[in-house]
A and B are shown apart, each in its own frame.
Chain A
Amino acid sequence: MLDAIVQGILLGGYYAILAAGLSLMFGVVRFINLAHGDLAVLGAYLALFCVERLGLQVWLSVAATLPIMAALGWFLQAAIFARTLRAGILLPLLATFGLGALLQNGMFGLFGSDTKSLGNHIGSLSWSSWQLPLDVSIGKLPTFTFVVAVLVLGALHQFLARTKVGRAIRATSIDAEAAELVGVEAARIHRVAAAVAVALAALAGVFLAMRALITPYAGPAQLIFAFESVVIGGIGSLWGTLVGGIVLGVAQSLGAWLSPQFFQLAGHLIFLAVLGVRLWRTHVAEHGGWRSAVLGART
C-alpha cells in the first residue's frame, strides 16, 4: 500500500503539469478549453514526428515541440478563443469541443490509429527504477516527471510573482478592464497565457507518451483527469493543482491496488467527494447547515 501511495504521488506530478495549463486558461482568460487533452496528445505526436521522421534526438524533439505548441496556443487564442469569448459562455465550449474533434480526427488521418509511444526512444529511463526499503520501488521516469512538475510550477509561480508580464497576467485575471486602464493590453496577455497553457499541455503529453501508449483519441480522458485535478486543488491556484494532481493520483493508484478496475473509479469518486463537500459548504454558507435543513427555515 505504501508503494501505491508513492506511485500515486509521482503520478500527481504528471497531472499537475497537465492541469496547470487548464487552470491558467480558466484563471486568466476565463476560458474553458475542452481541447486541452487533445492538444496534449498533439504535442506528443509532434515530438514523436520529430523523433521518428526527422530523426531528432528525443530531448531535442521535446525542446522543439514546446515552442511550436506555444505558438499554436498564441494563434488559437488570437484566431478562435478570443472571438468566441465575446459571445457568452456556451460558444467557447462548443468551439473547443469542435477543435478537439478536429484534432482527434486530424491526428488519426496523419498518424493512423496505431498506438505509439516515446518510451522506446528514451532508453532505460522508461522502465528502470530505484529500489527503496519497505518494498517501495520508484520509477525513474515518474520521479523525473514529478521533479519537472515541481520545477515548472515553481518557475511559473516565480514568473507570475516577479516579472513584468507575470504581474500583468495577474492584473488581467483580476480585472481585465482595469488592467487596460493602466496600459496592459488584455488581449495580448490572454495570448501569452494561452501560449503558456498549450505548451504546458504539450509537455504533459510528451510525458504521457513516454510513460504509456497513446492513440489520437487519448485526449478526452486526459482532459477529465486535468479537470479533476483543477477542481480538487482549487481553481486558480498553481500549487493547488499539484495538490489536486497528487490527491487524484493517490486515489487512482490506491484504487488500482485494491483491484485493477478501480483505477479510474477511485479517482472519479474522490473528485465527486471533494465536489460534494464544496457544494455542501456553499449551501451551508448560504442556507445554513443540516440543523436548519432538519428544523426547517426560520427567518
Chain B
Amino acid sequence: MPAAAIEGTFLSKRFGALQVLKSVNLSVAAGEILGVVGPNGAGKTTLFGVLAGALRPTEGRVLLEGRDVTAASAARRCRLGIARTHQVPRPFLGMSVFENVLAAAAFGGGLAGPAAQQGAADALRRSGLGVHADRPAASLGLLDRKRLELARALATRPRVILLDEIGGGLTEAELDILVALIGDLKEDGMAVVWIEHILHTLLRAIDRLVCMADGRVIAVGEPRAVMADETVMRAYLGGVG
C-alpha cells in the first residue's frame, strides 16, 4: 500500500492547561476527499494548523507522502506540497489580486518567470477570479476573498489541500461550482481535507468523513454511516457531549 498523501499520528496540541487536540489520527490518500465536521471548539482548525505547520503539535507526527515533516516550517511544508485556506480570508491587502497569487506560485509553487505568471493565471481562472486579476485585493468582497484564498492555495501546486469552511456564505449555485472544482482537484490526484458546516454540500463531495468533538476523532468512515452514528448525533447535532 502506498504511503498516504498526508497522515497525522497521535497528534496532540496543548495551549497551557487547555488541551485542544487529543491524540488524533488521520490519514488521507491521494485522490481522496476527506470531510471534517464537528461542533465549534472541536479542534478542527487547530488540526489544520498542526498539519500545515502554523502550529507545532505537543505530541505526534505529521507525514507528507511518508516523509516526516513535523519539524518543518509552514513555508517549507507549503513548498513540499501542503496548501491551506483560512476560514477568515487573509489576503495580502495592498497588493493586486494577481500579485497575491503570483507570490504563491513563485514561492510555494517553485515556479519562475513566465511559468509563475501562467500558474497564477490558471489558479485565478479555476477559482473564478480571472476577471478580477488586476484589482487591488483590498477591493474584493468576502466571497471573492474566499476565492482568492483558494486561488493562492492552488497556485502553490499542492498535493494536499486543506480547506477551512470555504463554502460558508456561498449561494447554492456557487456551492455547485465549488463542489465541481473540488471534484477536479480529486481527479488531478490531490488529497483534499475539507472542514465544512454545510453538510448537504459536503456529503455530495466527499469520500470519507471524520467527526471531531472535544479534541478527539469520535467517528470516521463512510459519510452517511458516520452521520448516522449515535455518538456523532449526540455530539454534533444534540450539542451535549
Interface residue ranges, A against B (CB under 8 Å): 164, 167-168, 170-171, 174-175, 177-186
Task: State whether A180 touches B92 (Cβ < 8 A).
Answer: no
Most buried by B among A168, A171, A181: A181
Q: Out of A164, A175, A185, which one reaches B75, CB within 8 Å?
A: A185
Q: Which residues of B contact A184 (CB under 8 A)?
A: 75, 103, 107-108
Taken together as a complex, chains A and B put the C-alpha atoms of A174 and B100 apart, in Å, by 11
- Within the complex, the shortest CB–CB distance from A292 to chain B, in Å, comes to 30
Task: State whether B86 touches A178 (Cβ < 8 A).
Answer: yes
Report the stretch among B57-65, B76-84, B183-191, B214-222 that lies at the interface.
B76-84
Name A162's closest neighbour in chain B (CB-CB). B99
B102 CB-CB contact with A under 8 Å: yes
8 A Cβ contacts from B48-63 to A: 52-54
B156 CB-CB contact with A under 8 Å: yes
Task: State whether A180 touches B94 (Cβ < 8 A).
Answer: no
- Within the complex, the shortest CB–CB distance from A188 to chain B, in Å, comes to 8
Task: State whether A183 touches B156 (Cβ < 8 A).
Answer: yes
Q: Which residues of A contact B90 (CB under 8 A)?
A: 175, 177-178
B208 CB-CB contact with A under 8 Å: no
Encoded as 1 (CB less than 8 Å from any A CB) or 0, chain B from 99 to 134 comes to 110111011111010001000000000000000000
Inter-chain residue pair count (beta carbon < 8 A) = 78
- Within the complex, the shortest CB–CB distance from A182 to chain B, in Å, comes to 4
Kindly list 8 other residue pairs between chains A and B, CB separation below 8 angstroms, not including A164-B112, A170-B92.
A170-B95, A179-B75, A180-B53, A181-B84, A181-B108, A182-B156, A183-B110, A185-B73
Task: State whether B103 touches A180 (Cβ < 8 A).
Answer: no
Q: Which residues of A contact B147 (CB under 8 A)?
A: none
Task: State whether B108 touches A182 (Cβ < 8 A).
Answer: yes
In the complex, 13 of the A-B residue pairs with CB atoms within 8 angstroms, ordered by the A residue number, are: A164-B103, A174-B92, A175-B92, A178-B86, A178-B92, A179-B92, A180-B78, A181-B52, A182-B108, A182-B156, A183-B75, A183-B108, A183-B156
Taken together as a complex, chains A and B put the C-alpha atoms of A168 and B95 apart, in Å, by 11
- Within the complex, the shortest CB–CB distance from A169 to chain B, in Å, comes to 10
Task: State whether B75 touches A170 (Cβ < 8 A).
Answer: no
Task: State whether B74 touches A180 (Cβ < 8 A).
Answer: yes
B93 CB-CB contact with A under 8 Å: yes
